[in-house]
Amino acid sequence: FARMAEAGEADPERAGRLLDVVGMEGPRGCEVRLARVRLARLGGQAEAARALLQPLRTSAPSACAEEAAALTAELMPEVGRVMRVAVFGAGASGVRVMLTLNEGADAVALAQSARHGAHALVFDGLGIDTLVPALVPVGRGGLRAVRHAPGELRLELDAGAEGTVLALGTPKRLLVDVVAAQPERAAGEGPLVVLDPGHGGEEDRGSWNGRLQEADLVLDLAQRTSQALGRLAPGVRVILTRTEDRPVDLEARTALANAAGADLFVSIHLNGSREEVRRGGVTTFVLDGRSDRAARRLAARENGTRPHEVTQLQQLLAGFHRREQVAASRALADAVHEETLRAGRRLLPTLADRGIKSATFFVLVGARMPAVLLEASFLTQDDEAAALARPAYREALAEGIATGIVRALSQLRGT
């Protein structure tokens, strides 16, 4: 009757009443549901048709699976194609999945259409490149596996796990942060701080001044900060996102902190400019969509993107961060900024205060803990470069960073 109604040979309303009699729960349930889909499509009810199709996308009996797939392709047109699936930072507390899309994909629409099923986060209407494995097992961080079927990609979650999705551009990507159900921290276990030395590897040296390169100096700063934390607060645990001169994806840095269940995240950098700058100094950034032009240029350089793409990312981040997390990040920024500046001025009294600012640094996106990016000095200013060449100055900066972290931890714990 549904097919006759489609052909104009039967009354659609009568066909619907007959389908009600048969019902979708019996042995002919799949065929009845498909007939309902056809009638809904006939009546111009596209959303109702898609809703009726949804249960068949993973559980259609073989007898009607082919027709279900054909209707799915018609009613859920492809809005993007997944070219690559990458998993970062899989740990006990969480995991980050990056889906790289084709350039024509509508990443924002895909992010907004992600739906939570039973222990799964599902993307509909996706094409999948033939090189993407049908199954990517994970088994950590609340994510069992990433699996795809025609027109659908599914992140299979553990009970109690949750996933959030952010769309990014150039290249088009979907960033999915999965949070596992969190166990209680063991009694007496100290807070965990993740220090992120920026840049690294032959292709990403950061700023430079003569033989001084940012990638080398910030690694030294992070290692000295870790040692200073050990002296100032022996109970604090520290992880570095890199411990040698090697490249680390921006996606992986915050993912590592999330997966480890870190309490604080501090990304350490040195500022620089090929243009003449009136003054150098210390700057500390928190993730926020509100930023000035100079901050957007700096964020574009650190993100490896163009300034207008930073503005797009700002728009996508609207409402993404929780208000209390922003407030905690600002408190961390206050403490780290003040103590770093104070310590640096002991050896370089002219060290300027460039302030605490907001910017859209990709390395901070998705952090589930208070997170800041510190530009500890201005490498392309000659007086600061000369100071940075001296181990005593780097040691002073590291002591300042560590003191600020300890101060922030005390504030967070209310002690």
pLDDT digits (tens, 9 = 90+) for 53-102: 666 655 555 667 677 767 766 766 666 889 999 999 888 899 999 999 98
375 vs 319 pLDDT, higher one: 375
Contact 247, 359 (CB under 8 A): no
Provide the mean pLDDT of the chain: 84
**What pTM, to 2 d.p., does this model score?**
0.74
For residue 312, name the pLDDT band (cuts at 50, 70, 90). very low
Which of 399, 379, 213 lies closest to 280 in space, CA to CA?
Answer: 379
How are beta strands 135-140 and 143-149 bridged, if at all?
Answer: antiparallel
What is the spatial distance between Cα 166 and Cα 159, in angstroms, rounded to a whole number? 22
Most confident among 250-254, 255-259, 393-397 (mean pLDDT): 393-397
pLDDT tens-digit series, residues 154-193: 999 999 999 988 887 777 888 899 999 877 677 678 999 9
21 vs 180 pLDDT, higher one = 180
Residue 366: closest CA among 139, 227, 174:
174
- Cβ partners under 8 Å of residue 363, min gap 6: 196, 198, 250, 253, 254, 267, 302, 303, 373
pLDDT at residue 322, as a whole number:
53
Whole-number percent of the chain with pLDDT over 90: 49
Residue owning tokens 């922003």? 326
Q: How far apart are CA 235 and CA 85, in angstroms?
A: 37
Which DSSP category does 289 fall into?
Answer: S
Q: Is the model more confident about 339 or about 125?
A: 339
Give me the pLDDT at residue 44, please.
Answer: 74
Does residue 15 have a pLDDT over 80? no
The pair phi, psi for residue 289, each rounded to 5°, is -70, -15
pLDDT band at 36; cut points 50, 70, 90 = confident
Q: What is the mean pLDDT of residues 102-115?
A: 83
Q: How far is CA 260 from CA 16, 268, 339, in A?
A: 54, 19, 26
Residue 290: pLDDT over 60: no
Tell me what pLDDT residue 34 has.
Answer: 81
Among the listed residues 340, 349, 368, the one whose alpha carbon sits nearest the alpha carbon of residue 271: 340
CA neighbours closer than 13 Å in the CB half-sphere of residue 92: 7
Question: Distance from first CA to last CA of the chain, Å, rounded?
Answer: 73
Confidence band for 105, pLDDT divided at 50, 70 and 90: confident
> Rounded to 5 degrees, what are φ and ψ at 151?
75, 5
Which helix (H) or strand (E) segment holds residue 44: the answer is none
Q: Which of 97-106, 260-269, 334-343, 373-382 has the lowest mean pLDDT?
A: 97-106
247-259: average pLDDT: 89
264-271 and 371-378 strand pairing: parallel
pLDDT, position 316: 45
- DSSP lists the bridge partners of residue 162 as 179
What does each C-alpha distance from 163 to 91, 103, 142, 341 come to in angstroms?
Answer: 15, 24, 9, 38
pLDDT score of 58: 52
Which segment of 126-135, 230-239, 320-329 scores lowest on mean pLDDT? Answer: 320-329
Q: What is the pLDDT of residue 257?
A: 92
Rounded to whole angstroms, the Cα distance separating 197 from 266 reads 9
Highest mean pLDDT among 23-32, 38-47, 278-287, 296-305: 278-287
